Amino acid sequence: MENLNENKIKLLEETANQLRQDVIEMLTEAGSGHPAGSLGMADIFSAFYFHILNHNPKNPNWSDRDRLVLSNGHICPIQYAALARAGYFPIEELKTLRKIGSRLQGHPYRKMLPGIETSSGPLGEGLSQAIGIALAARLNDSAGSSQAKYRTYCIMSDGEQDCGIIWEAAMFAGKYKLSNLTAVIDRNNIQSDGFTEEIMPLESLRDKYESFNWHVLEVDGHNIEQFVDAVNEAKAIYEKPTVIIAHTIPGKGVDFMEQDYEWHAKPLNKEQARKAFEELKTLNGKIKSEYE
């Protein structure tokens, strides 16, 4: 990973803003999808695909690549945007989101699109999938395989912490001390029907994961420097897996969407998209859209 200086942070922030505009354009074109979480995770996806991950868009199946598992697959628009901007497939293809025959389905499908590590849909499964990948790396390491060089990352929503399978997986990873695994929880405090603490209280997430032998870090999910520092700290932890609780604002960057759970799965119409682009343009005037 290259050094993170002020110029690189600025570039990553501008990239995150571009990804947000891509998401808005994609969902408006599709007429369906999940904007709140996708916009809220733009900074983290920018950090992953343009700074943190050891990957090669020209060789998506490179054996030494880091693996990124998206458990909350409904926010795949932000991953699709990051993959396209990183060079995995043409940017123009983003407009095919959720259309019949498109490689960009409403939940990612591993066999259809380069750069997708696992198929997702039912919430809660991603951590188990990531654990399997991380455990395979350890087994490869003991067998002398070069594949052991990679790290595994798993992005989860906070709402899916309601799922029992998450805690079975957390116990497993803690028991086997999978230090090559870093999980990221998008702690945006919303889910489909309301705020998480009203639907099924989650706190204290820190205490719960620590009790299962995880190293726990908490960051501002919109502070790229903080997030990168947390990922680097995770690499220095050798006796347990790490979970980064990233506090984010759902709908980040668009004032009328921020912190409103009703935007969890509601697309924008064209007038709303125009307003959203006007806000985002103040952050980076270089980005243009057909909805301006």
**What distance in Å separates the CA atoms of residue 210 and residue 190, rounded to the nearest whole number?**
23
The pTM score is 0.92
For the chain, the C-alpha Rg in angstroms (whole number) is 18
Rounded to the nearest angstrom, the gap between the alpha carbon of residue 213 and the centroid of all alpha carbons in its chain is 23
pLDDT value of residue 284: 57
For the chain, domain boundaries:
6-281
How many angstroms separate the CA atoms of 266 and 182, rounded? Answer: 30
> How far lies 7's CA from each of 11, 56, 225, in Å?
6, 23, 12
Look up residue 231 and give its two tokens. 């990922």
The H-or-E segment that residue 157 falls in is strand 152-157
Nearest in space to 150 (alpha carbons), one of 161, 162, 137, 139: 137
Report pLDDT digits (tens) over 65-92: 999 999 999 999 999 999 999 999 999 9
> What's the topology of domain 6-281?
Rossmann fold (3.40.50)
Q: What tens digit of pLDDT does each residue of 260-274 get?
A: 877 778 888 999 999
Q: Which helix (H) or strand (E) holds 198?
A: helix 196-199
Assess contact for 246 and 185: CB atoms under 8 A.
Answer: yes
β-bridge partners, 194: 191
Can you give the pLDDT at residue 11? 95
Indicate if the pLDDT at residue 146 is higher than 70.
no
Q: What is the mean pLDDT of the chain?
A: 91
